[in-house]
């Protein structure tokens, strides 16, 4: 049985269901998993799937100064490794190009990871190409073992090209979850074949077809308004401010109610925007919710709206999992024509694509699909068919499991250069 350490920025997280789904899939494929998290959880609850995961979780020191004894013991251990000088020089070179406290913390966490990891671990696997991959890379080189990375969105579009190149050249393999990201990373990699496109997909046993047909409501009734839904953190790239602007531009004759699910630093600002537009009484802010409550929201909604965009710092979505989830529940989607969204949403087939940062265009599409319930319902059904055909979780896990088939005897090489503890 392969033993793999999975390095995450935070665990568990409500916004990263796809990672939990993947870990459970790897466990079901009999890959032994140990989770290392760079941060302790901040969400007050978790998804049911987190309770099914057997892997133990170790939290690395989020703030180095709070665990000086642990850090000192780890440093004493790795300081005696033959690889230490080389890795220390690597980190210093990175620090010169990225002189930040975060870069210092990355090395400290890598030192603790390398010192504390069990000897049966044969491979390190990071989710996200920025901070987690840095910690993983330093630790793997200290131990002289292989490592790999799964890249997603913010980590791809906000990490400097020099750093992405060096990590891609150093890791055993990398995966990413959208075609647009795959092409970008392949252009940077010395060996493009190291980069693989693996869609996260959905576990359709958890996202079964909705039990009830979608409502034909069309927004003509004040007592039964059309139900709009957005799921996503309140951050710039999600474009929730554009949704609010679009909603405020809808004609008074259309009766609607919008539900937002997700936490984030911009919630207060968005609420002020809605109040200024005079539409607060038509909005439900529900915050972060466990998966079962999100599913209920998908099933009771008539239309899913996501005004995603490229943020000022270059951050953008990959292929938002919330769009796949909404489609699995036969929910027609309106989203911006940016990033990897067109890899899922086909305009006028299973939803509608609009130009990013144009609230009037978004308002027109919302109004159009609100008044055409039959078209909306057919789009939702087609969306489910596309998910079943192209975005099944099973295919993605099978492809990933093949990558974890390490060479025979690889685990026996672990810490060959390590002193006795």
Please indicate, yes or no, whether residues 245 and 260 belong to a single structural domain of this protein: yes
Please indicate, yes or no, whether residues 361 and 300 belong to a single structural domain of this protein: yes
| Inside any domain, residue 122 | yes
DSSP-derived 3-state class of residue 307: coil
Please indicate, yes or no, whether residues 249 and 329 belong to a single structural domain of this protein: yes
CA 130 and chain centroid, separation: 13
| Inside any domain, residue 220 | no
Q: At residue 416, does pLDDT exceed 70?
A: no
Please indicate, yes or no, whether residues 400 and 384 belong to a single structural domain of this protein: no
Overall number of domains in the chain: 2
Q: How far apart, in whole angstroms, are the C-alpha atoms of residue 364 and residue 35?
A: 46
Please indicate, yes or no, whether residues 290 and 361 belong to a single structural domain of this protein: yes
Please indicate, yes or no, whether residues 314 and 384 belong to a single structural domain of this protein: yes
Please indicate, yes or no, whether residues 183 and 273 belong to a single structural domain of this protein: no
412 pLDDT tier (thresholds 50, 70, 90)? very low
Please indicate, yes or no, whether residues 241 and 352 belong to a single structural domain of this protein: yes
278 pLDDT tier (thresholds 50, 70, 90)? very high
Q: How far apart, in whole angstroms, are the C-alpha atoms of residue 321 and residue 18?
A: 7
Please indicate, yes or no, whether residues 85 and 156 belong to a single structural domain of this protein: yes
Range of the domain at 316: 226-391
Mean pLDDT of 338-352: 95
When mean pLDDT is compared across 109-113, 244-248, 262-266, the lowest value belongs to: 262-266
When mean pLDDT is compared across 142-156, 256-270, 386-400, the lowest value belongs to: 386-400
| Inside any domain, residue 339 | yes
Please indicate, yes or no, whether residues 168 and 236 belong to a single structural domain of this protein: no
Mean pLDDT of 360-383: 97
User: How large a percentage of the chain has pLDDT more than 70?
Assistant: 96
- The string of pLDDT tens digits covering residues 291-312 is 899 999 999 999 999 999 999 9
Q: Kindly write down the DSSP assignment for every residue of 27-91, as one continuous string.
A: HHTT-EEEEEESS---SS---HHHHH----EEE--SSGGG-HHHHHHHHHHHHTSTTHHHHHHHH
Q: How high is the pLDDT of residue 411?
A: 34
Q: At residue 409, does pLDDT exceed 50?
A: no
Please indicate, yes or no, whether residues 29 and 173 belong to a single structural domain of this protein: yes
2 pLDDT tier (thresholds 50, 70, 90)? low
The average confidence (pLDDT) of the chain is 93
Q: At residue 400, does pLDDT exceed 70?
A: yes
Phi, psi angles (nearest 5°) of residue 333: -125, 140
Closest by CA to 194, choosing from 153, 164, 155, is 164
- Write the CATH number for 128: 3.40.50.2000
């Amino acid at each position: 049985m392969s033993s793999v350490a999975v390095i995450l920025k935070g665990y568990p997280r409500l916004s990263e269901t796809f990672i939990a789904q993947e870990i459970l899939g790897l466990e079901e494929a009999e890959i032994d998993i140990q989770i290392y998290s760079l941060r302790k959880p901040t969400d007050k609850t978790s998804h049911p799937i987190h309770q099914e995961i057997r892997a133990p979780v170790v939290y690395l020191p989020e703030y180095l100064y709070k665990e000086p004894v642990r850090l000192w013991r780890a440093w004493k251990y790795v300081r005696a490794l033959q690889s230490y000088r080389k890795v220390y020089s690597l980190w210093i070179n990175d620090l010169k190009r990225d002189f930040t406290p975060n870069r210092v913390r990355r090395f400290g966490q890598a030192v603790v990871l390398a010192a504390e990891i069990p000897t049966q671990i044969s491979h390190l696997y990071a989710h996200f190409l920025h901070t987690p991959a840095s910690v993983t890379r330093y630790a793997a080189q200290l131990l002289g073992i292989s490592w790999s990375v799964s890249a997603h969105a913010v980590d791809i579009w906000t990490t400097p090209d020099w750093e992405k190149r060096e990590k891609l050249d150093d890791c055993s393999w990398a995966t990413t979850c959208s075609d647009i990201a795959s092409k970008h990373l392949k252009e940077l990699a010395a060996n493009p074949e190291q980069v693989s496109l693996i869609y996260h997909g959905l576990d359709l046993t958890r996202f079964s077809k909705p039990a009830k047909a979608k409502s034909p409501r069309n927004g003509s009734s004040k007592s039964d308004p059309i139900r709009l839904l957005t799921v996503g953190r309140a951050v710039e790239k999600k474009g929730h401010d554009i949704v609010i602007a679009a909603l405020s531009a809808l004609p008074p004759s259309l009766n609607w109610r919008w539900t937002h699910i997700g936490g984030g630093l911009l919630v207060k600002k968005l609420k002020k925007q809605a109040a200024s537009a005079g539409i607060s009484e038509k909005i439900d802010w529900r915050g972060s919710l466990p998966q079962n409550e999100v599913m209920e929201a998908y099933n009771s909604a008539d239309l899913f709206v996501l005004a995603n965009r490229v943020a000022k710092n270059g951050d953008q979505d990959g292929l938002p999992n919330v769009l796949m989830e909404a489609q699995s529940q036969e929910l027609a989607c309106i989203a911006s024509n940016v990033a990897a969204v067109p890899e899922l949403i086909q305009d006028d087939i299973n939803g509608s694509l609009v130009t990013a940062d144009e609230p009037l265009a978004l308002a027109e599409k919302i109004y159009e699909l609100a008044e055409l319930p039959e078209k909306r319902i057919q789009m939702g059904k087609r969306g489910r068919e596309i998910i079943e055909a192209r975005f099944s979780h099973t295919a993605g896990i099978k492809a990933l499991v093949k990558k974890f088939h390490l060479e025979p005897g690889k685990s026996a090489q672990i810490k060959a250069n390590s002193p006795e503890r």
